[in-house]
Amino acid sequence: MMTHVHSHEDCRQLLGMLSDYIDGELEARLCEEIEAHLADCENCRIVIDTLRKTVLLYQMPDPPELPEDVELRLFKALDLEPYLRKEPLAEPDEDA
């Protein structure tokens, strides 16, 4: 039998499970408990919403990938310069 008397202790217990919850890795029974708690706990709703947004933000694409000069120096350091061509990446010339 479960009652949803809201206490600070409930929030503490719930906090440790939030990452599993937003990753969908929490078992159904615990999800239900969390959702019941969220229904009447504004603070936890804010935490879960901002935690989810935090993860989403960092999953948004980060455009600058590998700068060309960094790539060039990498290929040089590996002594692989002949293979550094924009496209297609395949055999070096002398082998064709």
Partner 1 sequence: MRIRVTKSLSLASEQEEVVGSNDLDEQALVAALKAGDRAACAVMVKRFSPRIYRVALKLMGDPDEAEEVLQETFISACQHVRDFEGRSSLGTWLYRIATNAGLMRLRRRKLETVSIDDPVELEDGEVAPRQLIDWGWNPEKHALNEELRRVMDEAIAALPETLRATFILRDIEGLSTAETAETLGISESAAKVRLHRARMRLREYLTEYFAAHRASVAERGDHDDARP
Positions touching partner 1 (CB under 8 A) are 12, 15-16, 18-20, 25, 43, 46-47, 49-51, 53-60, 62, 65-66, 70-71, 73-75, 77-78, 80, 83-84, 87-92
44 touches Zn ion by CB under 5 A? yes
Q: Give the three-class secondary structure for 29.
A: helix
Amino acid at 5: V
Cβ atoms of 37 and 13 closer than 8 Å: no
Cβ atoms of 19 and 51 closer than 8 Å: yes
Residue number, 25 or 27, with CB nearest to partner 1: 25
Q: How far is the CB of 29 from partner 1 (least distance, A)?
A: 18
